[in-house]
Amino acid sequence: MKIRIEKSGCVGNARCNAVAGDLYPLDDVGYIAVEGFDVAPGDEEAARKGARACPERIIFEEE
């Protein structure tokens, strides 16, 4: 599983980070710091929860 993030749509709500901070790091001003990542085994549920927490819906799960 992979996570893809459309960083340009981030408005800094940081809900993804609040749910799964280890997977969704923020930059110095509070916006998502990564464009995506490979989800490690065992982190799938946390990755999904972080994606669902985003009100802008800019975080996508890819198999």
The predicted pLDDT at position 22 comes to 97
Domain ranges of the chain: 2-62
Rounded to 5°, angle at Cα 29 from 16 and 41 = 30
- For 26, residues 6+ apart whose C-beta sits below 8 A from its C-beta are 14, 17, 32, 33
Closest CA to 27 of 17, 19, 36: 17
* pTM exceeding 0.85: yes
The predicted pLDDT at position 63 comes to 86
Q: What architecture does CATH give domain 2-62?
A: 2-Layer Sandwich (3.30)
Query: pLDDT for 3-39, tens place per residue?
Result: 999 999 999 999 999 999 999 999 999 999 999 999 9
